[in-house]
Amino acid sequence: DYVEELAVNITSSWSRAGGLAQAFYLAGAEEALRLAQELWEEDVESSLYCLALARAYTVAARAWAESGGDLLLSGVEDRAREFVAEAGHTWSYASLILREMELHSLRLRAASVAYQLAKSALARGEALRALMHAVRGLSLAEAALDEAVIKAAGAAKAERLCDYARRLALRALPQRPPALLLLLLKLGEESSDLLLRLLAYRYAYNAARAAPVALPAREVGAGEVVVNFSLEAWASWLAAAALAAFLALCVLAVTPKHSLDEG
């Protein structure tokens, strides 16, 4: 069963997770899988897209774990509690605003999924897992609010919002920023989609707030220290992986009558 195998893979990976980027993408995979299951009966195309993201994010998390360039996190219990609370407040506020405006947002639904997963992880004492879901849920809720602002104020406001979100993220960067934060900023700067740019900047800002300030490097001999990482190559690879996964999953759309939980 494709979905069950993916779920087991994600769960087992959490037991070994310790890095910022690895945990960020594992959380994304878990959220995308949950959202895919929720959407299957009502929107097969979106469900398949979420499944593709879940697979791509799982592969990305493994690659980060093996890269030697990830930032190891520890002692995040207090931050996890703070971020889960903030994510909940922001999601509630965004839900109220979008309901009043009669707007439907998939990002707001994804924020709800992330927040619920964050609360569950926190209750189990899995602080890192809770923190990353909360970071993502908070960012998604903020992006949903951005959608509402753009809907009300138009494209001119969108450009100003993007500039503001980018400046927030840049100001939050530590002196030696983790590679994940640089990647998110790069994705925001290179995207032609205003809403995707905003989401990337929201992710970068909140991940920066959640992370410590130092980036560990890997010593490779004779005192030489390197981080073997290319932002451009990584961004291109992740986009290609997501597209390949989506195309592979499209065959499932031929028989959309079965529940994803049943395979």
Contact 38, 121 (CB under 8 A): no
Per-residue pLDDT at 176: 82
Per-residue pLDDT at 20: 92
Per-residue pLDDT at 260: 55
pLDDT in tens, 181-213: 999 999 999 888 899 999 999 999 999 999 865
Is a pLDDT exceeding 90 seen at residue 259? no
Q: What is the C-alpha to C-alpha distance for residues 161 and 148, in angstroms, rounded to an integer? A: 12
Is a pLDDT exceeding 70 seen at residue 245? no
Q: What is the chain's Cα-based Rg?
A: 18
Please, which pLDDT band fits residue 12 given cuts at 50, 70 and 90? Answer: very high
Q: What's the predicted TM-score (pTM) here?
A: 0.83
Per-residue pLDDT at 99: 95
Tokens standing for residue 214: 């130092």
Tokens standing for residue 134: 């909360």
Most confident of the following: 106-110, 173-177, 237-241: 106-110
Helices (H), 73-193: 77-100, 106-123, 127-153, 155-172, 179-190
Q: Quick one: average pLDDT of 162-166?
A: 94
Per-residue pLDDT at 200: 95
Contact 203, 20 (CB under 8 A): no
Is a pLDDT exceeding 60 seen at residue 161? yes
Written as one letter, the residue type at 209 is R
Please, which pLDDT band fits residue 232 given cuts at 50, 70 and 90? Answer: low
Residue 260: other Cβ atoms inside 10 A: 23
Residues spanned by the domain of 130: 2-262
Better-scored residue on pLDDT, 230 or 34 = 34
Per-residue pLDDT at 246: 45
Q: In terms of Cα–Cα distance, which of 195, 193, 234, 196 is closest to 69? A: 234
Tokens standing for residue 72: 């190891």
Per-residue pLDDT at 178: 85
Q: What is the C-alpha to C-alpha distance for residues 232 and 215, in angstroms, rounded to an integer? A: 19
Q: Quick one: average pLDDT of 159-168?
A: 93
pLDDT in tens, 59-77: 999 988 887 778 888 788 9
Q: Which helix (H) or strand (E) holds 226?
A: strand 224-226
Contact 72, 216 (CB under 8 A): yes
- Split into its structural domains, the chain has a count of 1
Which single residue is written with the structure tokens 């010593």? 219
Per-residue pLDDT at 123: 97
pLDDT in tens, 100-150: 999 999 999 999 999 999 999 999 999 999 999 999 999 999 999 999 999
Average pLDDT, the chain: 83
Contacts of 21 (CB under 8 A, 6+ apart): 61, 64, 70, 71, 178, 179, 180, 183
Contacts of 186 (CB under 8 A, 6+ apart): 231, 232, 235
> C-alpha angle 213/219/223, rounded to 5°?
110
Per-residue pLDDT at 249: 44
Please, which pLDDT band fits residue 261 given cuts at 50, 70 and 90? Answer: low
